[in-house]
Amino acid sequence: MRASSVIPHLLLLVLVATLAAAKTVVDLTDTKRFEASVGRDRPALVEFFAPWCGHCKKLEPKFAAAAAAFAHQPGKVLIAKVDADKNKDLGRKYDIKGYPTLLFFPANSDNFEVYKGPRETDAMVQFINEKTGATGKLTGDGSGSPPQAKEAAKPVTVDAVQLTSGNFDRIVMQEDKDVLVEFYAPWCGHCKNLAPVYNAVAKVYENDDTVVIAQMDADEGANRPIAQRYDVKSFPTIKFFPKGSNKQAQDYDGGRTETNFIQWINSKCGLYRVAGGALSDLAGRLPSLDSLASRFYSTEAETDRSKIVEDARAFLAQAKVGTNSSAEKNAAADYYIRIMDKLVEDKKYVEKETARLKKIMGKHLDGTSLLEGKKVDSIKKRMNVLSAFVKRQLSDRVPGGAAEVPRDEL
């Protein structure tokens, strides 16, 4: 047998062995793993989910408990999940239109059916038993798994970028990236306490291409010279490397809560994230154009509006050649002008467009749409700018006055 044909067989054997030993939900987001597992030698119940979906989060412990109910029959039934927001091809293949969607696949078959029963552990276990002849067993509390087992089985996802001596300079020294680095040691109690917070912060900024939240095991032998380079003497030590051609490490001097980190990073990077990863009402807005937007919306005099649009276009032209120019600011300024042009054609445009965008966001939030994180950000920014036409200026709205208003210096 040729080596090229042996390798796939070996990979399949490893996969089968891994799945057979698993007592919890198996992640089959990877297409190759999915195709090697589903519709094969055993039936499968697969949850198609999205990480941001509230209903999916509520189902997670119940679905894990259902998987644990079959732990005494390894290899009998496969209980799996697919992140359909990450692997959209699989989502489209099985016509997933809302989250979570549960599909049952018989053994050795390409057919499947949608599970329409209650999203409760006992109901899912009963459904699997009836379909497969398995004998899933629930514990006394009906959860399918004792609390300790569920806690131990919960997967740990690391969202922070992992740095090593081999990739540190390539990632951290990128001129167009702001990079926050935690130097930690696996045995450090303070590092362990910080881990869930730091991981949550990394998740908050996952859609921001100009920000990297990273960490390095500074106690690992090959990484120690880098830790010494930046005078790391205790754990955790956190350093900030601002974007630019001559990067110099700065000490992180903020607090250790998720909110503390977010406020500090926002102030350093000019961003407007909030806990959980959403954008605040300030994102995408420019104070100088907020003033013009409010004036434009409040007057219907053609001469006044023409002058306001002229001022807005002059601002945009100057912004494009200013020292603080950026593609994002230019796009934001252009959107203000586009709204003004639309209002000339339809004085109800702001209300109509706001209602349209809210409807799209509503479908996203209730799990019936498939919006990527960056698309959600784009809609939120547009809604924020639309609101500038009908609300007071930011400097009148933000606690603390103009000092907390987004900066749009040229």
Q: What are 218-251's pLDDT values in tens digits?
A: 999 999 999 999 999 999 999 999 999 889 999 9
What is the structure's pLDDT at 300?
Answer: 81
- In this prediction, residue 69 has a pLDDT band, given cuts at 50, 70 and 90, of confident
Of 102, 163, 191, 265, catalytic: 191
Domain contains 363: yes
pLDDT score, position 139: 62
Within-domain flag for 165 = yes
Mean pLDDT of 89-108: 92
Please indicate, yes or no, whether residues 31 and 128 belong to a single structural domain of this protein.
yes
Query: pLDDT at position 380, please?
Result: 93
Q: How far apart are CA 18 and CA 4, in angstroms?
A: 22
191 is catalytic: yes
Q: Is the pLDDT of residue 398 over 90?
A: no
- CATH number of the domain where residue 223 is located: 3.40.30.10
What pLDDT sits at residue 157?
A: 59
pLDDT of 155 over the 50 cut: no
**Does the residue 408 lie in any domain?**
no
Q: What is residue 397's predicted lDDT score, i.e. its pLDDT? A: 43
260 and 293, same structural domain? no
What is the pLDDT averaged over residues 378-396?
77
Asked if residue 85 is part of any domain, the answer here is yes
One of 171, 188, 197, 249 is an active-site residue; which one?
188
Q: Is position 146 within any domain? A: no
What would the two tokens of residue 136 be?
A: 């899933």
State the maximum Cα–Cα separation within the chain, in Å, rounded to a whole number. Answer: 83
Same domain, 265 and 293: no
Query: Percentage of the chain with pLDDT > 70?
Result: 85
pLDDT for residue 45 is more than 50: yes
Helices 287-298 and 302-321 cross at an angle (nearest 10°) of: 170
185, 242: one domain? yes
Catalytic-labelled residue, pool 53, 64, 69, 211? 53
Provide the percentage of residues in the chain whose pLDDT is more than 90.
47
**Residue 332 placed within a domain:** yes
Query: Does the annotation mark 53 as catalytic?
Result: yes
Q: Which residue, of 84, 117, 132, is where some domain finishes?
A: 132
With 70 as the cut, is the pLDDT of residue 91 above it?
yes
State pLDDT tens for residues 316-355.
888 777 777 678 888 888 899 899 889 888 989 999 999 9
Select from 151, 126, 120, 113 the least CA-distant residue to 70: 126
Top-confidence residue, 138 or 295: 295
pLDDT score of 310: 87
**Domain identity same for 126 and 211:** no
Q: What is the pLDDT of residues 113-139, one digit of tens each?
A: 999 988 888 889 989 988 988 888 776
> Do residue 127 and residue 219 come from a single domain?
no
Which of 117, 132, 147 is the endpoint of a domain?
A: 132
Domain count, the chain: 3
Q: Please list, in sequence order, all residues whose beta carbon lies within 8 angstroms of the beta carbon of residue 364, skipping any fewer than 6 positions away.
A: 371, 376
User: What CATH number should be reported for the domain holding residue 291?
Assistant: 1.20.1150.12
User: Residue 315: inside a domain, yes or no?
Assistant: yes
Residue 82 included in any domain: yes
- Residue 263 predicted with pLDDT over 60: yes
Structural domain harbouring 320: 287-390
Statement to judge: residues 316 and 257 lie in one domain = no
CA angle, 375 then 313 then 273, to 5°: 30
Exposed/middle/buried for residue 393 (C-beta within 10 Å: 0-12, 13-18, 19+)? middle
